[in-house]
Structure 1
């Protein structure tokens, strides 16, 4: 490369030299990524994680344990260390809540079971014209908003809902009937929904019960200790659970894109940085369980460390198919909440690549993956994806198998993430924190 400077350009000398050096460093870095992150290993990982043998990796299934063991073995082979020097497998328990009896009398009228929906973390409800706060959702009121606010508030509530909201009511009823899963029961509360045109509640009697049992789940976490700033953590994460099999047991939700693709990225980024061996900050690699049923893996994980020590969270979610911006490109959720996207794009500009802003803001994707849990604690936690949710015919379908993926595009995305996050790894970039007061609070009841 030949460069000629004129007298008028002397003031720009330092800037031009810095730009050239940055180009050399970034290009060199990108080449090394291509050599170390082999497509062969990427294909091997995702082929296993999305295989029929794992039967869709449903929470609480034997097959999800097989997936966890595979990830743990990969972490061990890579040379990572387990969290708190215990085990790569981090088991924990959750509470499964299954509805049993439901009896409601409103204004001296017995309500049909079809018009009752109950979400509760209280084992037995016995309300007799007291205990509960009473709310009326009229035909012109926003039912979803009301329930969301009461859920965030917690406590005990009787909600009488006008029949104009019958369709939405049925959706809530179906959801509550399947039962709830809670990491903790520290905030006991109940929502009793009654579909009725009554516009005033003069008296009520409610008797309901649920059974509460405990079941085990497992995260898989590996650590590459930092060489200088060991207390500062860069977290790479994904969820490795999916939906299991169909009710008739004849078909499998393989979850190749959702999220075997992200988990494959975490594994191969771990291998890449372990082989480089020069990370100044501690790198943590986590495969979360139970994202599909409420994000319980990330909730438990967030209690195992000080969130103030987490510099950034790179949550990788569905990168198996090209984005609307082209093959090998990706976008991130909540880009406006921190300057992480800007810092990552600074590393990609010379390669003429960029990470785009979430093109589907109406989907609320910032809250639909494990990053939201850490964001609520102030961590610059974002999800990185390439999925086209507005067009994807395979999302949460049995057709989300490896044949539906573009593995070349996926491999390129993983390389892009390795290059983009290098400044986080070497300690030269620190993103701004997320304002946790501006992150929607998680519900306390359901």
Structure 2
């Protein structure tokens, strides 16, 4: 992680600067958020009746805002998915140790699969502790070194080995999470190693959310991209277990969890066979389906074949673990309000008239299932990524009221920081680096899928230094949402919300997008960034300068 340096945020020379944003319609944002997060949309799960209602509504709203259908005369881009719902899940049983264990589904552990198969049966699989489950040759790090785990069950820790390190220096960027720390990576690497199953030990601080989030996100229908091999090269089972159950499991093996977890932080750690066996069985209800991204465009007046991309995901969890009898995860903040902002931005830009470049607005599916809609767009772009100048992604706009700052996710990574700085200056606000870089937000939303293909994308969150109440009030509000509403049925529309801060933030997105769309520059990643080479290659393919 690069340090947050003022020099990295200076405006790019020669970029077109828009005037301050026109008023972004709060009434539009309220109406769209209220509608999309209503119980009638059933939590907007891909492939559900809620998706059908969402698509029809967004097509209507995009057209009303002034957009044109963005995919060869259609509003929709097909995204082939497979819905997999685990059923009849047995307890995860642990045998061979001092004390047999049976971990209950939902309460003690969650488990699922990416394999498109009607039945999963992991039987008497040897258990291995593989530290953080990381193989990073460029860092000389291999948690699987010296042990074949084919057919075995690996237990791994969440986040990176140095997540408790103060500051942003260390083998894995210190406090800042890298992609190696994400649960998605842990699953991917275990599959590459040939493991039969992988179980992540849940700890609230390094995971960045409580067990309630793990449970609600992993006990309903899951979605994977449709694949010719049915994902049979993935692990048969993957999931999470509660920390206290991990401690009990290690104790049954005659091992101390805390001691081994500490050892796993040190380079040269070797995987530890625990002398235990794991078994779990479940059936899968499988349904192949086509979900959809919704694509609209405002054609450019001078360079219509150059594109600026604005995105937000329309999906949420659908029906989830009930809380007080409520089983609809409405996703009002996550991400009905971001989708509403996308509509309001389309409306504002249409009223302003065509920009020099085309502006593309994409409401993405299956973000909650692992960024599947944006990944599909990245691999099958409606508009060439080499001709996509850059863009911005909006996810979970916070209802805290106006703030003096914004929190920049991934500061110093690209020249888009300069566009954000210029827009902030026009509002009299400042940029603040992530206060919790260990949470890995850069890898948790749809901008990441575009970044992996070289497209610079800016992503920021509502600031916590509030006009009313300062930093203490902002931190308290963020904590309250994370602990009480995030990925829960209580993330519902509130007519008493203060939209002034959201309007302010969406105004920043307007200015950044309009500056890009009216300009001639091609912002790039900073030298040495992980995505710079990909961008340079794609631009060079067009004979363009790097």
TM-score (norm 1): 0.73
**Contact 1:343–1:431, Cα closer than 8 Å, also in 2:** no
Q: CA deviation at 1:370?
A: 1.1
- Which residue is equivalent to 1:412? 504
1:351 and 1:120, CA in 2 relative to 1: closer, same or farther beyond 3 A?
closer
What runs of 5+ residues in structure 1 fail to find an aligned partner? 1-18, 440-446
Query: Based on CA coordinates, which of the two structures has the bigger radius of gyration?
Result: 1
Q: CA deviation at 1:120?
A: 4.7
- Which residue is equivalent to 2:306? 232
- Which residue is equivalent to 1:50? 37
1:98 and 1:251, CA in 2 relative to 1: closer, same or farther beyond 3 A?
closer
SS of 1:85's equivalent? coil
Q: C-alpha separation between the residues in 2 aligned to 1:334 and 1:158?
A: 34
1:167 and 1:374, CA in 2 relative to 1: closer, same or farther beyond 3 A?
closer
Structure 1 position 309 matched with structure 2 position 387: yes
Q: CA deviation at 1:275?
A: 2.2
Higher helix share: 1
Asked which structure has the greater RCO (Cα within 8 Å, sep 6+), the reply is 2
- Which residue is equivalent to 1:67? 54
Structure 1 position 265 matched with structure 2 position 341: yes
Q: CA deviation at 1:43?
A: 3.1
SS of 1:402's equivalent? coil
1:210 and 1:176, CA in 2 relative to 1: closer, same or farther beyond 3 A?
same
**Contact 1:331–1:386, Cα closer than 8 Å, also in 2:** yes
1:350 and 1:210, CA in 2 relative to 1: closer, same or farther beyond 3 A?
closer
Q: CA deviation at 1:279?
A: 1.0
**Contact 1:217–1:289, Cα closer than 8 Å, also in 2:** yes
- Which residue is equivalent to 1:5? none
- Which residue is equivalent to 2:150? 133
SS of 1:377's equivalent? coil
- Which residue is equivalent to 2:19? 29
**Contact 2:333–2:491, Cα closer than 8 Å, also in 1:** no
Once superposed, what is the RMSD of the aligned Cα atoms? 4.4
1:79 and 1:190, CA in 2 relative to 1: closer, same or farther beyond 3 A?
same
**Contact 2:308–2:513, Cα closer than 8 Å, also in 1:** no
Q: C-alpha separation between the residues in 2 aligned to 1:125 and 1:244?
A: 24
SS of 1:389's equivalent? helix
Alignment partner of 2:76 out of 75, 79, 89: 89
Alignment partner of 2:63 out of 73, 76, 80: 76
Q: CA deviation at 1:114?
A: 4.1
SS of 2:19's equivalent? helix
**Contact 1:225–1:282, Cα closer than 8 Å, also in 2:** yes
Q: Deviations over 1:367-424 (max 9, x none)?
A: 1211111111122123332175334243334153233521222222222321233220
Moved more, 49-58 or 376-385: 49-58
1:384 and 1:333, CA in 2 relative to 1: closer, same or farther beyond 3 A?
same
**Contact 1:224–1:284, Cα closer than 8 Å, also in 2:** yes
**Contact 1:96–1:212, Cα closer than 8 Å, also in 2:** yes
Structure 1 position 300 matched with structure 2 position 376: yes
What runs of 5+ residues in structure 2 fail to find an aligned partner? 1-10, 127-147, 161-180, 205-210, 242-248, 254-272, 464-476, 534-546
- Which residue is equivalent to 2:133? none
Q: CA deviation at 1:88?
A: 0.9
Q: C-alpha separation between the residues in 2 aligned to 1:202 and 1:314?
A: 48
> Superposition pairs for residues 376-391 of structure 1, below 5 Å?
376-386=452-462, 389-391=478-480
Q: C-alpha separation between the residues in 2 aligned to 1:426 and 1:70?
A: 30
**Contact 1:119–1:176, Cα closer than 8 Å, also in 2:** no
TM-score (norm 2): 0.61
- Which residue is equivalent to 2:357? 281
**Contact 2:36–2:336, Cα closer than 8 Å, also in 1:** yes
